[in-house]
Amino acid sequence: MASNIKITFLGTGGSLPKPGRALPAVAVHIDDVLNLFDCGEGTQKQIMKSSISYMDIKNIFITHFHGDHFLGLAGLINTMSFSGRENDLNIYGPPGAIYFVKKIIDLGYYSLNFNIKITELDYGKTYDLGKFLLRTLKSDHPVPAISYSIEEKDAYKIDRNLVDKINFPVNKLEALRSLGRLEINNKIFKIEDVSLGIKKGRKIVYSGDTRPLNSMVEFAKNADVLIHDSTMDSSMEPMVNAYGHTSSRQAAEIARDANVKKLYLFHYSARYNDLKILLNDALSVFPRTYLSTELMDVDVPKDTEVIPLH
């Protein structure tokens, strides 16, 4: 299980940038694995102002190919190459990702010094990315779009008394934790033999652009953090929904019904200078609502509860 998970909000606006509010980009750091969700215009400059490094990004997940969510890729990739990057970069997205990302890679005159692996993801699937599971949900937006859930893998709580009781070699514990079972000297050991219970992994859900979805409630169930499209306030719902977005009140209803620990509003329309109207709209429905703001770091604490095996 990962020991540290940190979210960095790089850009929180939608459609149009404005002073003090960049376009969508959210970094999720899981130990030594840095993931970027969306890459709006100017993301590399936001990264340079933040606590993270663009050279450390391993995975980029694009929710959809409207310009405000991906046009920062060209500059970011160019800068990575210019800075001497050698490590592979993984870029994931909905159907169409291979076409659009290849167009970006081929844009302009520059030398690409590293490999870019582009993967089009299916809706409603789970992918094992090593440190975490990635789940996908089909968003309700005018173009192909994906909502993402990063889920830390559950881990067994090891009890050294049980380890000693069955004479299990301590230097094999990590292998047992990883594999679930091991054969040593013709004897089968199972992880359950040395465990008191399971510690549930943390869960972060990023909606991207979407109308309110009933399926989002189940998708975000019990999430530690839900980052949800909150483009306009409730008075604008007919218009915001027509354009494929969610109001702050509707996002709060989803957070409430999904029993999430924290909701962060995101993707604010440029029409709002003061975001309190969006926040108050949501707080009236879900008290654990917060505004995401530029360059804000959010640590996701571990859950200390251990669920007994029996």
- Residues with a known catalytic role: 68
* CB contact set of 91 (below 8 Å; sequence gap of 6+): 59, 60, 62, 73, 97, 101, 116, 117, 118, 119
306 contacts 199 by C-beta, under 8 angstroms: yes
What stretch of H or E contains 160? helix 160-165
Residue 244: HSE in the Cβ half-sphere, 13 Å Cα cutoff: 17
CA 77 – CA 75 distance, rounded (Å): 6
Between the alpha carbon of residue 299 and those of residues 28, 202, 290, the distances in Å are: 10, 11, 14
Residue closest to 40 by CA, chosen among 13, 20, 18: 13
Between the alpha carbon of residue 98 and those of residues 23, 124, 220, the distances in Å are: 22, 19, 27
CB atoms within 10 A of CB 259: 11
